[in-house]
Amino acid sequence: MKVVTRFAPSPTGYIHIGNVRSAIYPYLLAKQNAGKMILRIEDTDRERYVEGATELIEDTLEWLGLNWDEGPIIGGPHAPYFQSERKSIYHDYARRLIESGRAYADPTPSEEIAKYREKCSKEKIPFLYRNFRPENTPEWEPGIPLRFKAEPKEYAWHDEVMGDMHAGPEVLDDIILIKKDGYPTYNFAHIVDDAEMGVTHVMRGVEYLSSTPNYLALYEALNLERPKLVSLPHILAPTGNKKLGKRDGAKSVTEYRDDGVLAEAMLNYLACLGWNDGTEQEIYTKDQLIKNFSLERIQSSGARYDETKLLWYSGQWIRKIFDEQGVDVLYERTAGFWPEVADNFNNDYKRRVLSIIYDRLKTLSDLREMTAYFFAAPAIDIDMLLQNKFLKKLSEAELESTLKTVISELTKLEDWNADSLQNTLNNLLELTNKKPAELFSLIRIAVSFAPFSPALNLTLEVLGRDESLARLNSVARAI
């Protein structure tokens, strides 16, 4: 059987962390089985439609490397891939149901329906529209909602993640298939499209599980084969027990991209949120995810979103790219993330800065704050020196004389490189009779005035002789 999956977002806003995972698993399953993933835009709820949301969805998928095999932009044999352009297909299916007596036009005004609902709530009985089904119904024509004629019965089915499921007749109802505006509901449209597009695995959020019996009734009434159903558990908000949503500040995926989180890290983190391959492995490339993914190992309980963990992944991926592919490849990815003061510096210098700082970055945008002193002399902040926990015990005179010894030794250095700098720094420990934490903090702060920096000899090497000595001199004068 050829595997066909789909990601079927509604263009109602940006895609956030909580819903992009419904694209990752269908992608992995399709690729693993040399199948196809379809992107389908479910835009029949015209009231919730947001201009530009489709482009954001496409951008997000492209950034993550989740390339769809059929869908918007690239087309395919089941085009169009926007539900709003498929009205006539839904209407054909609707007519089939009318002909077989399984759908009816329902002109009942919504105020009337509200009354039925109220009556049930007063009597404390569940509201089922089929108990109020009108006796005589008109011919179906545009402007009149079309409803399914449900047959109360039991359903049993297997969900690939949730296991064997069962539901009684009380959940089956006369759901709306086509709305007043002529557009289908999600409930109807996705059944038709999944069948038309040959989808073999319907993977979506677990929120659709409770409606599944109604979907099963529709497959049956339309004589369609049931696809495999895969309910993906919620991604939970960082605290509490509710699903992560925009209201909990769930950021859009592209916001993380703009903050310099690597796409590989985002994909890796989200894929492992609620799935594991049974080992302790944490870092996976896309190819490894494709190879190791399995539906059986998707966990059925919710997985908690943890931004700190995402940033950990991002840092790991920065190191991985540097270590495995080299500084040039990582450097290519840093465009746009340097501080403004770096604009006038050449690529070679920036590459050298990157190669000593990369292992401290969590996101590429950390470059902005962490590297500014490589490009412009920092403002001298004597308090920062005096209040440093290692330097507090030293008098100002002691700091000044120590700096002078440092300057005079470094001035004598012939080869300004990491090794000879390290030798000089070691010799200075004896000459100044200071502890490493004292001496090195003093020099580090004097050249950077930053909370931390890469290894001191590397920092001095990259800054260069003239710049390093100039900065040390200015501080010695200012104390």
Query: What region, left, alpha or beta, does residue 101 occupy, with left being phi > 0 and alpha being psi -120 to 50 degrees?
Result: left
Spatial neighbors of 128 by CB under 8 A, at least 6 apart, are: 120, 170, 173
Distance of closest approach, residue 21 Cβ to ligand GLU, in angstroms: 12
Distance of closest approach, residue 24 Cβ to ligand GLU, in angstroms: 13
Could you give the C-alpha distances from 57 to 42, 61, 170, 171, 237, in angstroms and in order? Answer: 12, 6, 37, 33, 22
Q: Is 10 in the site for ligand GLU (CB under 6 A)?
A: yes
Residues near ligand GLU (CB under 6 A), total: 7
Q: Is 42 in the site for ligand GLU (CB under 6 A)?
A: yes
Q: Which is nearer to ligand GLU, 42 or 438 (CB)?
A: 42
Q: Is 193 in the site for ligand GLU (CB under 6 A)?
A: no
Could you give the C-alpha distances from 235 to 160, 201, 203, 226, in angstroms and in order? Answer: 18, 20, 15, 26
Binding to ligand GLU (CB under 6 A) within 82-101 occurs at: none
Q: What angle do CA 255, 8, 145 make, to 5 degrees?
A: 125
Q: How many CB atoms lie within 10 A of CB 82?
A: 16
- Give residue number: closest CB to ligand GLU: 204
Q: Which is nearer to ligand GLU, 186 or 345 (CB)?
A: 186
Q: Does 309 participate in catalysis according to the annotation?
A: no
How far is CA 74 from its chain centroid?
Answer: 23
In this chain, which stretch among 3-11, 321-329, 350-358, 385-393 interacts with ligand GLU, using CB under 6 A?
3-11
Q: Is 204 in the site for ligand GLU (CB under 6 A)?
A: yes
Q: Are 253 and 266 in contact (CB under 8 A)?
A: yes
Q: Which is nearer to ligand GLU, 215 or 374 (CB)?
A: 215
Q: Is 190 in the site for ligand GLU (CB under 6 A)?
A: yes
Distance of closest approach, residue 308 Cβ to ligand GLU, in angstroms: 28
Whether the CA torsion 104, 108, 109, 110 is positive or negative: it is: negative
Distance of closest approach, residue 186 Cβ to ligand GLU, in angstroms: 6
Q: Which is nearer to ligand GLU, 184 or 454 (CB)?
A: 184
Q: Which is nearer to ligand GLU, 209 or 290 (CB)?
A: 209
Could you give the C-alpha distances from 129 to 45, 136, 149, in angstroms and in order? Answer: 22, 15, 10
Distance of closest approach, residue 183 Cβ to ligand GLU, in angstroms: 13
The helix/strand count (H/E) of the chain reads as 19, 11
Structure tokens belonging to residue 37: 């993933």
The secondary element (H helix, E strand) that includes residue 203 is: strand 201-205
Catalytic residue among 246, 291, 392, 435: 246
Q: Is 5 in the site for ligand GLU (CB under 6 A)?
A: no
SS3 assignment, position 464: coil
Distance of closest approach, residue 26 Cβ to ligand GLU, in angstroms: 9
In this chain, which stretch among 5-13, 53-61, 168-176, 349-357 interacts with ligand GLU, using CB under 6 A?
5-13
Residues assigned a catalytic role = 246
Q: Which residues bind ligand GLU (CB under 6 A)?
A: 8-10, 42, 186, 190, 204
